[in-house]
Structure 1
Amino acid sequence: MTVLVFGGNGQVGQALLRALAPLGARVATTRSGTLPDGRACEVADFDQPDRLPRLLERLRPSVVVNAAAYTAVDRAEREPEAAFRANAEAPDAIARWCAARGVPLVHYSTDYVFDGQATVPYREDAPTAPLGVYGASKRAGEQAVRAAGGRHLIFRTAWVYAAHGGNFLRTMLRLGGEHARLRVVADQVGTPTPAALIADVTVQALRHPGGLSGTWHLTASGQTSWHGFAEAIFAEARAAGLLASVPAVEAIPSTAYPTPAKRPAWSVLDTGRLRQDFGIALPSWQDGLARVMAEIAAA
């Protein structure tokens, strides 16, 4: 089996290249043709979706996993065409190739397809209502993958982070080492989810004998605010010896930290269907944080 991973240099992509090893050969793509460790890989530019079918035809993978996306949420408000090319047109081209050749496709989506006005965890069949360009482009990508008609596994996730790359955890560690006091939004609620968990669940789903197709929510268990996540990060970092002291973290409303794109206030996803369909136990977000912090400390 050959698994093609689009976006091999991202947080989820790097975790996938490790987790997918038991399934067979892995082929990675990046826009530059280089992986973070300097190794060469295939080139796939999601700003040019029409070139992707030629790449797929040449490689002829057994499974395709799309971990590439335009994720600059605020910049997407200024660059809607670029966001839709990467998040909707590129997945459409990939999904149509996969459907025509009977190749399973894994595709990742986001909590940003919802408006964040709920008070209970979102189920997969909840109405979508994106607040901005990024969420709208990701919803369009979901729709394109479904419409292609092939076997697909769409995983919506949220608040993704890892020991590498640009993410909230790494930003907090940097700022925590530079400042004695930080202000962090406390009225946005979601579930911090390690990239490694997403990759591990993806492998379990691909190994499932049922050949299922559909959309599932994939996050760690539990919920917190960005403020709560920040406090937990600093506590874990202090215990791991990564910070000499812990900064004071002031809780602020979203209105005190305006951004070009509006964020959903409620990003908690109901993972019941995933757990039931694949028999998967999901760790708490606190356990996930502890594992990632241990990885950082070990490095």
Structure 2
Amino acid sequence: MIKIKHVFIVALFSIAFYACGDDNDSNAVEVFDHEAQALIDKDSLASFFTKHYYDTTSGLVKPLIAGETALSNDSNLKSQEVTEQEVDYTFYYYKIGNEGSDPDAKGNPSVVDSVYAKYNGVRIVDTDSISTSFDSNTSWFTLDGVIRGWSYSFPNFKGGENVSSSTPGEPINFINGGKGILFIPSGLGYRNVGTPTGSIPGNANLIFYIELWDIVANTDHDQDGIPSIEEDLDGDGDPRNDDTDENFVANYVDADDDGDGKLTKDEDRNGDGDPRNDFNDPDNPTLPDYLNPNIFG
């Protein structure tokens, strides 16, 4: 599955350098302008929406025809603004059907939860045409390990209810899960780099048809007893940038958050399985032990 990328790989390629043709300085470089590209992508998507509609019969986005409602005027198309690496982006999602209508259906995942989903990806070649599928699959993945457009988009959908038969060999079956379409600007996809195979070129806006079948709420990446989403200490919605001991390993994947040599899960003096409510430093009564290197368990 080509979408699964570690966040550090994304960060590594977030800025691309190109040699300039200045005869006076052969070593000069030009930094790619992601902010300008974000504006270009926003305009391109806006134009695309005026020329396409959602076809309920095929379940696909198609060129606009007489009698149909353009996506730009379709109330089911929603937008959301996010800031990634100091650049403002707008992505879009289109909900299909009545997700989560059953009381047994799962809720919405967080930006770092594990999800089980079916997807099919195409790219917007220009404002008038759509490519053939570049990737289609059904799998488990964690939302901190995929393109950022997915990390932000999937939490807008709910997981479904597993109604699979208990008979061995029968296929897994889910109902009432979130179903929709994601419209991802290049800056929240593969940016100006694209994919190594070339199936997705740089600065490509993407479309994904998705079905969210299942989620693992409160995924705990480092198994320290604290859900990964709860290790977002600064409250900005992104646990990836919280690193208490400054060892370049974010808390949600760091088994020893304060770097005192004792695992976070073991800094649970009251033994209730939750290190977040143990406070044993009289000089810092509001700082939990697992974030306090002066308290060893």
State the TM bucket, normalised to the shorter chain. Answer: under 0.3
TM-score (norm 2): 0.25
More helix by share: 1
TM-score (norm 1): 0.24
* Greater C-alpha radius of gyration: 2
Higher relative contact order, chain-length normalized (CA < 8 Å, sep 6+): 1
More strand by share: 2
